[in-house]
Each structure stands twice: as structure tokens, then as C-alpha cells.
Amino acid sequence: MAIKQLLKRTSGWLYLNSPVGRNQLHGAGVILMLHRVLASDQAAELPHRNELCVGPKAFEHLLVWLKKHFDCVPLMDILQPGARSERPKVALTFDDGWRDNAVNAFPLLQKYQVPASIFLSTDFIGSHQRFWWESIGETLWNSHGEQARLHLIERLQYLGRPLPTLCDDPDQQRRSLALLNFLQGLKTLSPLDLNRLTDDCPQESLPQALDWQQVHNLEASGLVRFGPHGASHAILTGLDDQRLDEELSRSRDALLHGCNQPLPVYCYPNGDNDARVRQQVARHDFPFALGTGTGIYRGAGDPLALPRFGVSQRTARNPGLLSWRIYRGARP
Ligand SMILES: [Zn+2]
């Protein structure tokens, strides 16, 4: 391990285990942001998946570490705290509503009795609609065969987005990193183009997203609650007033219809929000909303832009790095 990483891990650990650290975190809450839990750690390691995916071994390692240092609580225990506990609190959140949350994450949440909140992009739930970055990324990664890959490369070229030669590098890490950069660049394409490209990717046998029966089963366990993460996952700050209202209403109504006790918490797609979006979210009966700015929640600050810490495969494998980031986030 690099010296710098070791130092970060050690000072993070000291922080969690020192009176100063414990004092600072007393009564504070840490909200973690995850997306997917894949079936394989090896698959999650690759740079183009690392940020949004963790593997089962890394996820289990993270849960054990969290239980050692924190009280693992439902999100609402942090947002509307009752009794103050001795230890700092942590709440797990998952964005988008991936099917693997039920298949791979839930059995481990249950094993360790760690509560979680899942934020659904409601148009995807119970449908075969796909998330563009997953379909395009995995097709370009050749997960669906060379023919599909070549076809997609042609389509991208036509849209003025030729695949960089680094995406053909024989070294897997470099190839994956180049793909990550390329995918990030595609965010500037229009939603229409992205949808068309996604439709051109081969369909997997199983839907990417949860279905409502799975949502119902997870909710019935008492361990998981759900909230909205947009309907179509459109970036809210880019929508006009009417479309913004439609996204917020449609996602809220889908949750009210599909869940017994939906959370009064909105979760912005991509974390993007501004004053107009926050005002509209409040108007749609959400007193709380999650952004992606990092920090610790102490009951102060804007409840419509709550901070979170993202968890990647790398941090799940080395949670000491997470305590370093919490330490940085906690410093005044
Ligand atoms: Zn998302």
C-alpha cells in the first residue's frame, strides 16, 4: 500500500478512536451513498465500474467495519434524531434502484441487520428500461459480444463521438480507465441521443432495475425504505418548470402507489440541484433531499441539500479511507 494511503487510513482510524474524533462526531450523522452491489469483486474493481459498484466481499467488509465504529441506523434516525447515542450514526443509501440491491446487497444487509434506504428512478422500476451508462458502457466493454460493440461504435462515430484508441488498449486497467473518461464525456449528449444509443445495445436477459414485487418484499422486511430519485433520471436543473413538476409528481406518485411508507426524502439524480429545484421539491411535500456534496449532518444546514459520502469498491475494501474522508468532512 502506498505511504499516502497508509497515512490516510491511520489518521482516519485514530480519528474514529480518539476522544477528539468521538466528540466531534457525537450526535452527528454520516450518510453513505452507494449504487450497485455486483456478484463479483473482480468485476467491481475495474475503473469504469469502481465508482458505482462494489463487490459482495468488499460490501460485507464495509458492513462489518461500520458496525464496529458506528450505530447503523435508518436514514430518518439521522434526519429526525430521537435519543442521542454514544456512538456516531451512519445510514446507508442506494441510488437508482438496481436489481442487484435485492439480489446481492439485501442478503448481506439482513445478515448484519443494517438498515438501508433505496432511491428509485421510478420509470425504470418493473420495466425493461435501461440506464444508458450501464448499457453503453458494458456494450463498449464487450460484455455483449464484438458485433454489438462494433455496431455501437459506428453509431457513436455518426454522432461525432468516435471511440478513442485507448479503449482498445491491450492493458485492461488502461482500457477501463479510457472507457470511464469516454462515458463521462457522453453526458453532454442529448437525452434523446442517449436513449437511442441505449435502445441499440443488446437487451440483457434480466431487467437492470428492481420490480415492484421486489420493492414490496424489501419494504416488508422492515430493514429497507424507499424514496424517489427522479422518474426518468433526468437531471432536474436542466428541466423547464413544467417538466420539473412532471418528474417530481410522477416519481412521488409512483412511490405513494408502490410503497406502504415512502420516505419524505428526495434524492436528486446526479446530485444536481439549485434554488429553483429545491423550492419545487419542497412544494411536492419533501422536507428533505439528498445531494452529493460531502460532509457530516448535524441537523444544521439546508435539509434540501443533505451531504453524503460516496462509497466505491476501493473505499469499501479499505474503509479506513472512508474514515479519513469523514475526518476531513468533519473538520470545521
Ligand atoms: Zn442516479
Average pLDDT value over all residues in the chain: 92
| Residue 59 DSSP SS3 | helix
Instruction: Give me ligand 1 centre to Cα 229, in Å.
Output: 7
Instruction: Give me ligand 1 centre to Cα 54, in Å.
Output: 15
Assign 330 a pLDDT band (cuts: 50, 70, 90).
Answer: low
Does 84 score more than 80 pLDDT?
A: no
- Spatial separation of the C-alpha atoms in residues 234 and 123, rounded to whole Å: 11
For the residues 16-31, what does the mean pLDDT come to?
Answer: 76
Strands 89-96 and 53-54, by their bridges, are unpaired
For the residues 2-7, what does the mean pLDDT come to?
Answer: 72
The answer to whether the beta carbons of residues 268 and 277 sit under 8 Å apart is: yes
Q: What was the pLDDT predicted at 331?
A: 62
- The β-bridge partners of 71 are 89
Tens of pLDDT along 166-208?
888 899 999 999 999 999 999 999 989 999 999 999 988 889 9
Does 320 score more than 90 pLDDT?
A: no
Instruction: Give me ligand 1 centre to Cα 96, in Å.
Output: 5
Tens of pLDDT along 86-106?
788 999 999 999 999 999 999
Tens of pLDDT along 250-266?
999 999 999 999 999 99
Does 9 score more than 80 pLDDT?
A: no
Tens of pLDDT along 110-154?
999 999 999 999 999 999 999 999 999 999 999 999 999 999 999
Q: Can you give the three-state secondary structure of 137-195, one letter per residue?
A: HHHHCCCCCHHHHHHHHHHHHHCCCCCCHHHHCCCHHHHHHHHHHHHHHHCCCCHHHHH
Which amino acid does the sequence have at 33? Answer: M
- Spatial separation of the C-alpha atoms in residues 295 and 103, rounded to whole Å: 30
Q: What was the pLDDT predicted at 206?
A: 87
Assign 324 a pLDDT band (cuts: 50, 70, 90).
Answer: confident
Q: What was the pLDDT predicted at 8?
A: 73
Instruction: Give me ligand 1 centre to Cα 50, in Å.
Output: 15
Q: What was the pLDDT predicted at 4?
A: 74
What pTM, to 2 d.p., does this model score? 0.92
Instruction: Give me ligand 1 centre to Cα 243, in Å.
Output: 18
Does 10 score more than 80 pLDDT?
A: no
Q: What was the pLDDT predicted at 332?
A: 52
Instruction: Give me ligand 1 centre to Cα 131, in Å.
Output: 9
Instruction: Give me ligand 1 centre to Cα 6, in Å.
Output: 31
Instruction: Give me ligand 1 centre to Cα 169, in Å.
Output: 29
